[in-house]
Chain A
Amino acid sequence: MKKVLLLLTVIIVVTFTSCKKDNNKVEPVQPIEHRGVYILNEGTFTYANSSLSYYDINGKTVTNHMFASVNGSPIGDVGQSLTRIGDDLYIVVNNSKYIYKVDAKTIVYKAKLENFTSPRYMLPINENKAYVSDLESPGIWVVNLNTFSINEFVEIGNSTEAMVKIGDEVFVSNWSNYYLPGTSNKTVQVIDCVNDILVAEIEVAQEPNAMVVDKNNNIWVLCSGGYSGDKDPSLICIAPSTRTILKRFDFNPTAGDYPSGLAIDGAGETLYYMNGTYSGLNVYKMSVDADELPDNQFITSDGMVFYNIKVDSVNGDIYVTNAKNYVENGTVERFASDGTQLDSFGVGISPSFILFR
C-alpha cells in the first residue's frame, strides 16, 4: 500500500505540477507618433474582448490590441466610444460601466472611473469638466477632469446618447427607452452646460441615435425609427438657437430602412450615413443643402457588414468599419471622397468607433 501510495504521489507531483502561467504579458508598443485613427473594437457582449487599434495614415500601418499589449489587461466588456482631451484618451466601456483614462500616445493606463450605469459617450465641456451620457440612467454624468471623479448626476428624465456642444449648450439625444420604460425616445434635450440644468426639449423622431453639426451650426439628427412597431426613421435638421426643426427627411420604414452612423465632412457641407435593413447597410451621401434624401447608394456594402462611419476632416477620405459576422476580427474600409475604395486594414472584433487624431 505504501509503495503504491508513494508511486501515486510521485506521479502526481512530477507529472502535473501546478503551472501558473501568466499569459498576460506586457509588451512594448511603439508610441503613436503620426497622424492617424484610433479604432475602438466593441468585442462580443459579455466576453470582455474589446480592443483598441491605431492606424497610421502616412505609414499605412495598423497596430492592434494596443491597450492589452501595453497594460496586460483587457479594456473590458463592450468598448463604446473614445474621447481625446489634451494628452489623454478616454475609453468609455459600456458593459463594464467604467471609463479608462490612458496616455493618448503610449496608451499607458492612467486612471479608471467606475460606477456608471451604462456609459455611452464623453463630451468635454471645458478643461475642468466633461459630460457622460448613459443608456440606463435618466440623465447625464458630470465628470471632474482634474480629479477624474463623478461630480454629479444631472437628472433630465430620459436616457442619453449622442451629444453635441454649441456655445454654452449641450444637445443630447434620447435614443432608447428600452431600460427606462415610459420615458422619451424621440427627443433632443438641451442642457445649459454652465449651470448643468435642463433648459429645453425638442421633439424629433423615434430613436435619435447620432448627431453632427454642419457649417451653418445647425444640428443634424439621425433617427433610426426604432426596432419595432410604428417606425418613423428620419433625418432631421434642427436650428439650435430657436429649437425648431428646419428640415425633416423621412425614410421608408416599409422597405425596412434603419439608418445609423451619421458623419459629416470637415467643411460641414456633406453628410454621410448608412441605411438599409438589418442584414446590410450601404453608405449614402447628401449635401446639407439638399432638398431630398439621395436615391442612390454612394458606397455599396457588397456583402460587407458596415457598422460605423467617419470622414477624415483633412482630406475627405471616408472610413467605414466592417464588423463581418461580429464574432471574428473586422476591418476598416477606406474610400476616397469620390467613393472609390482606397484600401482596407484589419482591426478587432466589431469595430465600432473611429476617432481621428
Chain B
Amino acid sequence: MVSFAAMAQDTIVLQSVTVNAEAVRANAAESVMERKIDTALLKRLNTVTMSQLLIQHSPVFIKTYGPGGIATASFRGTTASHTLVLWNGFQLNAPTLGQVDFSTIPVFMTEQIALKWGSGTSANSGGLGGTVNIENIQHFGEGLILDLKQTYGSFNSFGSFLTAGYSWKSHLVRIKAYRTSSDNDFEYNNIGIIPHQVMKQKNGEFVDYGLMPEYQWQHRNSLITIVSWNQWSDRNCPQIMPNVNNTNTKEYTENGYSRNFISYKTYWNSGKLEVKSAYFYEKQHYFLETYTSIGTTVTSINSINDANVFHQIADVEQDLYKSWKINGKIQWDHEMVKSNNYDGIKKRDIVSFYAAIVGNLLNPIDLRFTLRNDIVDGKSAGFFPTATASYNCVYLKGLKISVGYSHNYRNPSLNDLYWNPGGNPDLKPENGRIFDGNLNYTCTFGGFSVESQLGTYYSEVSDWIQWKPTNYRYWVPENVATVVAYGVEAHLKMNYLYRDWKFSASGNYVYSHTTDETDGRGLQLIYIPLHHANAFAEMKWRTWNLNYTLEFTGERKTSMNANEFPLFRLYPYTLHHISMGKQIGKFNVEFRVNNLTDVDYQAVMWRAMPGRSFEICVNYKF
C-alpha cells in the first residue's frame, strides 16, 4: 500500500487517492470480480447513453425499447431488478421500481464505469446479478477546464455537451451541462399491421438535459467533495406496431432527478475513513391521455411518483498485519415515496453493517471474506457472507484463478409492496446464492498486450418476485419462482503498437442459461438471450482513427412456451457500427454510421428500431 507520506508529496492528490484504491485492489481476490470500462473509450463515447455503451462494450445485456425509450440492464442471466447501480457508492435504483433506466444516464456525467459481480457486490443488497459502479473523478492542479461537444445526426438529433471549470492546487470547481434531443421519427417496416407498411415512427420525440456542478477541496490529509447531479427528461412514448394508427392516445413521461452528496475523506498512514451523506430526489411522471373521436378527453392517467432517499455512509479501511486489511461500512438509507399509485406515503429504512477482510495467505493465494447484516424497518434481513480465493499462478505470470461464493438478497421494491391495486405487502425478499469462478490472464510482449478473462457462474435465486395477472383483473407480485442461472462470460482485449500505428481489439461473449425451475420444466426466462456478444476494433494512425463495433443479440423468448410461435419470436440480430475521426489542433471531428447494414430488427416485441443512421460530432478541448 502506498504510504500517505508519499501521497502528501504528490500535488495531484486525487490521483494518489486512485493509486491508493488501486493498491487495495491489488489483492487479486478483489480485482477478479470487476472490470473497468476502458477510459479512452469512455471519453470517445462521451455523447452516448450508458445503455449504448454497455451493450457494445461490456458483457451486460441491455433490453431497450429504442432511442428515447427505457433501457434496462441485466447481468449474468438475471433481470433489470438484479442490477444494482452505484454512483460514487450511492444506490441509484429508484425505491419505487427498483430498476435503473440506463437510457437516462449519459456517459458524459461519469469518468469511470466499473462492473462488479459475484462476491464483488457484497457491500450492498440487491445486486444479485451484478453492480454497475459509476464514479466521478476530478484532478487538481490542471488549470482551466473547458470542453465543448456538439453532435448532429439523423432524425434531427442534437447533442450539446459542455464541461467548464477551474482546477487549482487544492480547490476545484467544475460544471457539466448537456442537452440532447431528437425527433426520433425514423423509418421502419411495420409488420404489426395489415398490410405491412414502411412508415415513420410517430410520437417518439424526446429531450433530455442535465446539469452537474462539482466542488472539491483538499486540505492536508483530507478531501471534501460536493456533487449535485440534476437531470430532466421529457419523452414521448411511441406506440407498439399494431397500435400506431391510434390518433386518440398520447403517452409521455416527464422524469427528473436531483442527486446530491457531500463526502469527507481522510487518510492516514495505514488507512482511510470516508463519511458521506446524500439526498436523492426523483420524480417519475407518466401521462396517458385518451381522446374520443368526438374530441373530448375521456381518460387521463396521471401517475406521479415522488421518491426521496437519504443515504448516510461511513466507510473505514485499516491495514492490520502484513498484507491483511479490514474494511468496515455502516450505511443507513431512508426511503420515502409519495405516489398517487400508493395509499399514502410509504417509507422504508435500511441499516446495513458490513465488514470485509482481505489478505494474502502464503504468497500466491489472496483471500477475501465479507459479512453483512441488514436491518430493514427494524427487522433483521439476515447475515450475508461471501468468500473469495484467488491464486496467482507462479508458473505462468499474469494468470489468476479465482473462486467465489456469495449469499445476498434483494428487497422488494416499494411498487412491489404498495402499488394500488396489486401491491403485496407480504412479499419476502429474494434470496440469492452465487458461485463463480474466474480465469484472468494478462501479458505483454513487444508492442503487444493481451488481457483476457473467462468467467463462469452458477446462481440460484429463490422467492423470485413475479407480477402475475389474477382473477381480479390486475397483477399481483408474488414470491413464486426459483430461478437458476448459469453461464460463461469471455472477454478478450488486445493492443498492438507499431510506430505511428495503434491497433486495439476487444470483445465479449456471454452465454446465459436462466431457467425457471418452479414447475420442473426449466424454461429459459423471457427476454434473456442464451447468447449475446460484442466486438470492437480500433485503428489509430497519427491524428486519424477508425472504429468498428459489432453487436450481436441472440434469440429471445417472449412467453414461457417451449415453442414460440414464429411471429412472437424475437430473432437474433447483428448490428455493425463504424466511425472515423480526426484530431485537428484542439478540435476533434468524428463521423459515425450506426447500423451500417440497415438491419431490420426488434429488441422488444413490436417496438420499432432505427435502421442506418448518421452522426457527426465536433469536440473542442482547451
A-B interaction: yes
Which chain A residues lie closer than 8 Å to B243 at the CB level?
Answer: 48, 76-77, 95-97
Q: How far is the CA of A200 from the CA of B192 in the complex (A)?
A: 42
A173 CB–B CB distance under 8 Å: no
Contact (Cβ within 8 A) A18 B560: no
Residue in B301, B468, B558, B568 whose Cβ sees the most chain A Cβ within 10 Å: B568
Q: Mark B498-540, 1 if CB is under 8 A from A, else 0.
A: 0000000000000000000000000000100000000001010
B622 CB–A CB distance under 8 Å: no
Chain B's closest residue to A64 (CB) is: B565
Interface of A is mostly: loop
18 inter-chain pairs at a CB distance below 8 angstroms, sorted by A residue, are A12-B597, A24-B567, A68-B567, A72-B191, A73-B567, A75-B242, A96-B243, A97-B248, A109-B194, A115-B293, A117-B290, A117-B291, A118-B299, A227-B473, A227-B474, A278-B476, A328-B559, A350-B469
Contact (Cβ within 8 A) A18 B598: yes
- 4 new A-B contacts, CB < 8 A, other than A73-B192, A76-B192, A97-B246, are A72-B194, A73-B196, A153-B294, A274-B471
Which chain A residues lie closer than 8 Å to B41 at the CB level?
Answer: none
A8 CB–B CB distance under 8 Å: yes
Contact (Cβ within 8 A) B596 A23: no
A19 CB–B CB distance under 8 Å: yes
Q: How far is the CB of B19 from chain A (nearest CB, A)?
A: 37
Which chain A residues lie closer than 8 Å to B192 at the CB level?
Answer: 48, 73-74, 76
Selected interface stretch from B48-56, B141-149, B204-212, B599-607 = B599-607
A21 CB–B CB distance under 8 Å: yes
A46 CB–B CB distance under 8 Å: yes
**Residue in contact with B421 in the complex, picked from A17, A18, A228, CB distance below 8 Å:** A228
Contact (Cβ within 8 A) A136 B290: yes
Q: How far is the CA of A118 from the CA of B289 in the complex (A)?
A: 12
Contact (Cβ within 8 A) B566 A23: yes
Which chain A residues lie closer than 8 Å to B468 at the CB level?
Answer: 325-326
A218 CB–B CB distance under 8 Å: no
**Residue in contact with B298 in the complex, picked from A5, A117, A228, CB distance below 8 Å:** A117
Which chain B residues lie closer than 8 Å to A77 at the CB level?
Answer: 240, 242-243
Interfacial residues of chain A within 1-19, with CB under 8 A of chain B in the complex: 1, 4-5, 8, 12, 16-19
A20 CB–B CB distance under 8 Å: yes
**Residue in contact with B571 in the complex, picked from A21, A258, A274, CB distance below 8 Å:** A21
A133 CB–B CB distance under 8 Å: no
Contact (Cβ within 8 A) B292 A49: no
**Residue in contact with B600 in the complex, picked from A20, A71, A95, A328, CB distance below 8 Å:** A20
Q: Mark A224-243, 1 if CB is under 8 A from B, else 0.
A: 10011000000000000000
Contact (Cβ within 8 A) B559 A329: yes
Q: How far is the CA of A352 from the CA of B170 in the complex (A)?
A: 69
A65 and B565 in contact (CB under 8 A), knowing A47-B605, A325-B468?
Answer: yes
A162 CB–B CB distance under 8 Å: no
Q: How far is the CB of B549 from chain A (nearest CB, A)?
A: 11
Q: How far is the CA of A349 from the CA of B561 in the complex (A)?
A: 9
Contact (Cβ within 8 A) B559 A349: yes
B241 CB–A CB distance under 8 Å: yes
Contact (Cβ within 8 A) B606 A48: yes
Contact (Cβ within 8 A) B298 A12: no
Chain B's closest residue to A306 (CB) is: B471
A19 and B567 in contact (CB under 8 A), knowing A325-B560, A326-B469, A350-B469?
Answer: no
Which chain A residues lie closer than 8 Å to B606 at the CB level?
Answer: 47-48, 74
**Residue in contact with A260 in the complex, picked from B248, B471, B599, CB distance below 8 Å:** B471
Q: Mark B37-68, 1 if CB is under 8 A from A, else 0.
A: 00000000000000000000000000000000
Q: Mark B456-494, 1 if CB is under 8 A from A, else 0.
A: 000000000000111111101000000000000000000
Which chain A residues lie closer than 8 Å to B598 at the CB level?
Answer: 18
How many residues belonging to A are interface residues under a CB distance threshold of 8 Å?
Answer: 73
Contact (Cβ within 8 A) B561 A329: yes
Across the A-B interface, give the 10 residue pairs with the lowest CB-CB distance, nearest first.
A18-B597, A328-B560, A278-B470, A76-B242, A326-B469, A136-B299, A327-B560, A227-B472, A278-B472, A117-B290
**Residue in contact with B471 in the complex, picked from A24, A45, A68, A258, CB distance below 8 Å:** A258
A281 and B471 in contact (CB under 8 A), knowing A4-B539, A137-B292?
Answer: yes
Which chain B residues lie closer than 8 Å to A152 at the CB level?
Answer: 294
Contact (Cβ within 8 A) A46 B597: no
B268 CB–A CB distance under 8 Å: no
B249 CB–A CB distance under 8 Å: yes
Contact (Cβ within 8 A) A48 B242: yes
Chain B, interface size category, equals: 35 or more
A65 and B567 in contact (CB under 8 A), knowing A278-B470, A326-B468?
Answer: yes
A138 CB–B CB distance under 8 Å: yes
Q: How far is the CA of A179 from the CA of B194 in the complex (A)?
A: 30
Which chain A residues lie closer than 8 Å to B241 at the CB level?
Answer: 48
Interfacial residues of chain A within 47-82, with CB under 8 A of chain B in the complex: 47-49, 51, 64-65, 68, 71-77
Q: How far is the CB of A86 from chain B (nearest CB, A)?
A: 21
**Residue in contact with A180 in the complex, picked from B242, B298, B526, B546, CB distance below 8 Å:** B298
B587 CB–A CB distance under 8 Å: no
Q: How far is the CA of A327 from the CA of B467 in the complex (A)?
A: 11
Which chain A residues lie closer than 8 Å to B605 at the CB level?
Answer: 47-49
Chain A's closest residue to B568 (CB) is: A49
Q: Mark A120-136, 1 if CB is under 8 A from B, else 0.
A: 00000000000000001
B9 CB–A CB distance under 8 Å: no
Q: How far is the CB of A354 from chain B (nearest CB, A)?
A: 17
Which chain A residues lie closer than 8 Å to B448 at the CB level?
Answer: none
A114 CB–B CB distance under 8 Å: yes
Contact (Cβ within 8 A) A16 B597: yes
Chain B's closest residue to A277 (CB) is: B471
Q: How far is the CA of A183 from the CA of B246 in the complex (A)?
A: 25
Chain A's closest residue to B550 (CB) is: A16
Which chain B residues lie closer than 8 Å to A73 at the CB level?
Answer: 191-194, 196, 242, 567
B383 CB–A CB distance under 8 Å: no
B428 CB–A CB distance under 8 Å: no
Q: How far is the CB of B600 from chain A (nearest CB, A)?
A: 5
A138 and B599 in contact (CB under 8 A), knowing A5-B546, A327-B559?
Answer: no
A25 CB–B CB distance under 8 Å: yes
Chain B's closest residue to A176 (CB) is: B473
Which chain A residues lie closer than 8 Å to B599 at the CB level?
Answer: 18-20
Q: How far is the CA of A23 from the CA of B555 in the complex (A)?
A: 13
Which chain B residues lie closer than 8 Å to A323 at the CB level?
Answer: 469
**Residue in contact with A12 in the complex, picked from B472, B473, B576, CB distance below 8 Å:** B576
Interfacial residues of chain B within 157-199, with CB under 8 A of chain A in the complex: 191-194, 196
Which chain B residues lie closer than 8 Å to A307 at the CB level?
Answer: 471
Contact (Cβ within 8 A) A136 B561: no
A279 CB–B CB distance under 8 Å: yes
A23 and B571 in contact (CB under 8 A), knowing A97-B243, A326-B469?
Answer: yes
B574 CB–A CB distance under 8 Å: yes
Q: How far is the CA of A137 from the CA of B421 in the complex (A)?
A: 21
Chain A's closest residue to B518 (CB) is: A325
Q: How far is the CA of A95 from the CA of B242 in the complex (A)?
A: 10
B303 CB–A CB distance under 8 Å: no
Q: How far is the CA of A97 from the CA of B569 in the complex (A)?
A: 24
B363 CB–A CB distance under 8 Å: no
Q: How far is the CA of A234 from the CA of B470 in the complex (A)?
A: 20
Which chain B residues lie closer than 8 Å to A344 at the CB level?
Answer: none
